Structure formats: structure tokens, C-alpha cells
């Protein structure tokens, strides 16, 4: 497992534990989260990321992201996940992570479903 995969796995583990501090610590201070292919910026900065997930996701007691497939190409990691939101509602997610030279996630693109 390379360094990029390790930090992406650490953020996935923190996500599943609903540990906002450990989750946010995996991201660069100036992280940018965008939708793909529109490239719409949806979150900018570690503090905004922590606020978003603390308020919209980590309060769901049955939240869990199951990794279906992962592709690692150097400093980029692509995850395909099955995300349980409230126990009954699921969604499939594809995230592309770009890990910076500092070993933290610098950018994320969430691929929109058609």
C-alpha cells in the first residue's frame, strides 16, 4: 500500500467511525472538493469540510461506506463505494482523491451519477 492509498484508507476508516477530527486530519488545509464532470466547487478548506460532514453525515448512526473497488495510480486514488446513509437508503459513490506532496488529500472529485 503506497502513501496515497494509506491516507485515503485512513479517511475512510474515520468516516465509518464518524470521527470528524480524524477524518479532517487526512485533508490538506486548503482542500477543494468538486463535482465531476461539472467541476462545481462544493467544499473549500479543511474547516468547511469538517463542518459539512459533522452536520450532514456523521450524525447518521448507521452511516457506513463499504469499499467496492479501489484503483491506485501514484498519488491518485479512485474509490467506488456503497454508502449506507440511514440503514435503508443506500447510494453508490465514486470519489477521485489527489494526494499532495505533504501526504494529505489536496483535492477530491465526486463523480455525478448520470
Which ranges constitute the DSSP H helices of the chain?
A: 3-17, 20-24, 46-56
Tell me the mean pLDDT in the region 38-65: 94
Tens digits of residue pLDDT in 69-108: 999 999 999 999 999 988 778 899 999 999 999 999 999 9
Domain count, the chain: 1
Residues 6+ apart with CB under 8 A from 73: none
Residues 81/95, Cβ–Cβ less than 8 Å? yes
Residues 104/7, Cβ–Cβ less than 8 Å? yes
The domain spanning residue 82 has which CATH number?
Answer: 3.10.450.50
Tens digits of residue pLDDT in 9-49: 999 999 999 999 999 999 999 999 999 999 999 999 999 99
Q: What is the domain range of residue 71?
A: 3-111
- Give me the pLDDT at residue 30, please: 98
- Give me the pLDDT at residue 114, please: 62
Amino acid at each position: 500500500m503506497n502513501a496515497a492509498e494509506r491516507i485515503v484508507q485512513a479517511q475512510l476508516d474515520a468516516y465509518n467511525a464518524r470521527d470528524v477530527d480524524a477524518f479532517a486530519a487526512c485533508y490538506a488545509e486548503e482542500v477543494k472538493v468538486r463535482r465531476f464532470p461539472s467541476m462545481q466547487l462544493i467544499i473549500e478548506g479543511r474547516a468547511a469540510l469538517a463542518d459539512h460532514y459533522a452536520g450532514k453525515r456523521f450524525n447518521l448512526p448507521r452511516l457506513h461506506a463499504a469499499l467496492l473497488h479501489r484503483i491506485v495510480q501514484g498519488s491518485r486514488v479512485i474509490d467506488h463505494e456503497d454508502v449506507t446513509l440511514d440503514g435503508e437508503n443506500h447510494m453508490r459513490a465514486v470519489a477521485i482523491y489527489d494526494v499532495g506532496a505533504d501526504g494529505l488529500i489536496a483535492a477530491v472529485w465526486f463523480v455525478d451519477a448520470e
